[in-house]
Amino acid sequence: DGGITQSPKYLFRKEGQNVTLSCEQNLNHDAMYWYRQDPGQGLRLIYYSQIVNDFQKGDIAEGYSVSREKKESFPLTVTSAQKNPTAFYLCASSIQLQETQYFGPGTRLLVL
């Protein structure tokens, strides 16, 4: 089946620790995105990538990093510099920028 997968479903982070969230798609989409959602709020863009080996900061990139070495993969690292990382993280992809976006099931990150 074609789609977007995210892992893990739940992730616990200790103080000062970097953690990496996985996002994989087999839709052959060029564009991929990472969003953060806080309780009762809409989504905010962290990073997006138009094509392999290219990515751009979104509205809330501080404390996060990404890579795009393969078309199908767009991992997000939450660094120790992100002081309030507890949130629901959603990955999405689209054929090209500004086309219809398709979302993965999300990863819930909690700080211990």
Please report how close the Cβ of residue 65 comes to other proteins at its closest, in angstroms.
17
Q: How far apart are CA 14 and CA 45, in angstroms?
A: 24
DSSP state of 81: T
Query: Which residue stretches of 1-112 are H helix?
Result: none
How many Cβ atoms from other residues are within 10 Å of residue 104's Cβ?
Answer: 21
# residues contacting other proteins (CB under 8 A): 26
Q: Which stretch binds other proteins (CB under 8 A): 10-18, 45-53, 62-70, 78-86?
A: 45-53
97 forms part of the interface with other proteins (CB under 8 A): yes
90 forms part of the interface with other proteins (CB under 8 A): yes
Give the footprint of other proteins on this chain (CB under 8 A): 31, 33, 40-45, 48, 50, 56, 58-59, 88, 90, 92, 97-103, 105-106, 108
